[in-house]
Structure 1
Amino acid sequence: MRRDTRSADESSDSEDSEAEDSQPSSPRRYLTRVGAERMHKELLRLLNEERPKVTAEVSAAAAQGDRSENAEYIYGKKRLREIDRRLRFLQKRLDTATIVSPTEQSDPERIYFGATVTLEDEEGSLATYQIVGSDEIDASGGRISIESPLARALLRKRVGDSVEVVRPRGEVEYTVVRIRYL
């Protein structure tokens, strides 16, 4: 797992300049520390619990004889391939990601990667979002991707600033009410 000691604002600024210079095939991936820990936990669970359990089930099914008509064996092998695919994916993501700690933000007055932002829409409704990496998104949990239109519009804004965002239902204007780095 690569760790980056840069602050999130330095990361965002350098990401913009590096994005222009880099090839589109190797985008820079950022994760919050919490997101990286969540992915690491999943990797360990798959590796230490799920995979050994499914391997034992496949071995037991294989001992029953004819494998071509053994549904338990066929399903178990398929499940092992899915687990191995997910393990490779998680390992690659964790190895290549830059971990950014939102609490180490050097400019907490502006919105950067990892910020938790409270917004007010035109009708006065409040919504809170945390800007995270694409591997961490959870719309129901209020975590939106740094690559989303809303997050892009919010970058570098301050409390009191307004942004207009185009959504499928039409354009909406938000005002930044609060910025926190948790």
Structure 2
Amino acid sequence: MNTPDTHSPVLEVQSRRRPLAWLVAIALVVLAIDLGSKMWALAELADREPVRLLGGALYLSFARNTGAAFSLGSGYTLVLTLISVTVVGVIIRFASKLRSLPWGVSLGLILGGATGNLVDRFFRDPGFLRGAVIDFFSLFDPYGQVWPIFNVADMALVTGVALAVLLELTGRRIDGTRAVKERKTAGPGTRDKAEQA
């Protein structure tokens, strides 16, 4: 019985394309939903009182944020913008090494979220690289007193980073391998090795 050649060029191309396709697709979907929801919020929420939903568990409350996700680091808009540009650049650079579908999902969420907020930084007031991000979700309070007001991009970023941390903790690597600790048998020293995930 013939076994598939795991080193064939066709399988190698497939192992590259699938995770990369997921990364691109998720990033584009997140970006589209984020930009669309911000346009809606700007048109429908900017000049009205917060909208109470789910018995007060969620409010739609328009805000402009000069900080990072969940309004962290307000006042450092330019620095945060440059960090976001760096993150996007790093993800694009590492995309060529991507062989892991879970990492494709994680990086797609991060890329889509970072790009969504970067669009605001580039094109919204008060100016290029210093634009305020539009936020409109507020939990348990209409004005972000319980939890900072956030948007779709923030949710994608936090979810993507949390997934990346989980993948690291479980030994999954971006190239599709998995770090496995060798059991100590004889002799000093234990070495990490990688097996195909």
**Same fold, judged at TM 0.5 (above):** no
Task: Name the one with the larger strand percent.
Answer: 1
> If the length of structure 1 is used for normalisation, what is the TM-score?
0.28
> If the length of structure 2 is used for normalisation, what is the TM-score?
0.26
Task: Name the one with the larger helix percent.
Answer: 2
